[in-house]
């Protein structure tokens, strides 16, 4: 995988507290690997830790990175950024909470693509340990109509 010449903001619509990704490590049109560090601004922060449920959002945003690259290559950087998470097929958490300042590596890969539908497999790691495995279903708007 190569590192594309785009920013996180080019790829995702998320801003402020909902932007959880700090860095893109790898990216192509079918997968991405990102780095995130837990801050006190994250959703579900209780003063010391965040709930592992936020890892589902990390996987969804990481999937949006790869799928956003496909959108940019087809429709340009200024094309509309749309996508909806419509289902969580399966999730397994291996931690009860994630401490402040924890560095998380997230990998998301399109397992299946058809028109605007994607099935995504994702994992999050803290160090070498997998802390979440998720299978998501995402429906994306028809980019040709919205461009």
What's residue 81's pLDDT? 66
Pick from 38, 41, 21, 33: nearest CA to 97: 38
The answer, as to whether pTM is greater than 0.95, is no
Expressed as residue numbers, the domain containing 141 is 8-146
Question: Based on the structure, what is the number of domains in the chain?
Answer: 1
User: Residue 95 falls within a domain, yes or no?
Assistant: yes
What's residue 143's pLDDT? 45
Place of tokens 């592992």: 52
List, for residues 47-98, the tens digit of each pLDDT value: 999 999 999 999 999 988 888 877 778 877 777 766 666 689 999 999 999 9
User: Residue 1 falls within a domain, yes or no?
Assistant: no
């Amino acid at each position: 995988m190569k590192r594309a010449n785009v920013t996180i903001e080019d790829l995702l619509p998320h801003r402020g507290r909902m932007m959880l990704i700090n860095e893109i490590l790898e990216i192509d049109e079918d997968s991405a690997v990102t780095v995130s560090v837990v801050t006190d601004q994250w959703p579900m922060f209780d003063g010391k830790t965040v709930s592992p449920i936020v890892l589902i959002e990390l996987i969804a945003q990481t999937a949006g990175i790869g799928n956003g690259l496909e959108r940019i290559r087809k429709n340009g950087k200024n094309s509309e950024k749309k996508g909806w998470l419509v289902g969580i097929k399966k999730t397994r958490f291996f931690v009860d909470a994630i401490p402040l300042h924890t560095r998380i590596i997230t990998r998301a890969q399109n397992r299946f693509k058809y028109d605007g539908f994607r099935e995504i497999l994702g994992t999050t790691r803290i160090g070498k340990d997998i802390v979440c495995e998720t299978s998501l279903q995402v429906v994306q708007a028809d980019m040709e109509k919205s461009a």
